[in-house]
Amino acid sequence: MLGSGLQIYNANPVFGGRQGIHLPPIFIGGWLAGGRDWHFGSMWIFSLNLLWYGVYILASRRWKHRFVGQPDLKALQVGKNPKRKAYSWHRIVYTAIVPVLLLAILSGIGMYKPAQFYWIVDLFGDWQALRIVHFMTVPIVVGFTIVHSLLALKVGGSRLLESMFW
């Protein structure tokens, strides 16, 4: 997603274009249309994965244990255990990323098919606001990945960090 998104960013004159800011060449697609094709194809995998995760969390009732709750907020306010506080922060960050991911999907669909989903563009105000919101979700997700990994390392050590990938 990031590579094809950078391809779109660098090829489009609205945000840089050929005369504007050039980001590192880690592109997928080779040109604007190819980058859009790869990006939209990856979006389906990303969206279906998020949908499956949401169904799983709701059906298994793991949302009670996975996302932030009252005990986490209480632990941050009056807790003495530093590991418990770190775990609470971990759950807050983990909970906060879900709306950001949904915002990325919604704004991306509005950008890809603005004529069919005009109401999404209207929801964000105008086309430029929609693009800015979509592009702002990228550094938030990258930052989340870094913070999430560091918190996992702090709370559970390398074993918990490795369990995120294997």
CA distances from 90 to 76, 139, 152 (A): 11, 18, 7
* pLDDT tens profile 100-116: 998 998 998 888 888 88
Residue 23 pLDDT:
57
Please compute the mean of the pLDDT values over residues 69-81 and round it to a whole number.
80
Quick one: tokens of 40? 């939209």
**Considering the entire predicted model, what is its pTM?**
0.72
Is 80 exceeded by the pLDDT of residue 64? Answer: no
Residue 100 pLDDT:
92
* pLDDT tens profile 128-143: 888 889 888 888 988 8
Rounded to whole angstroms, the Cα distance separating 115 from 32 reads 19
Residue 33 pLDDT:
75
Q: Where are the domains of the chain?
A: 1-60, 67-166
Please compute the mean of the pLDDT values over residues 17-32 and round it to a whole number.
61
Residues 6+ apart with CB under 8 A from 6: 23, 24, 26, 27, 35
CA dihedral 37, 39, 45, 49 (to 10 degrees): -160
Please compute the mean of the pLDDT values over residues 117-137 and round it to a whole number.
88
Residue 42 pLDDT:
85
Q: Which residue has the higher pLDDT, 119 or 164?
A: 119
Residue 6 pLDDT:
73
In the chain, what percentage of residues exceed pLDDT 90? Answer: 5
Residue 166 pLDDT:
66
Rounded to whole angstroms, the Cα distance separating 122 from 100 reads 19
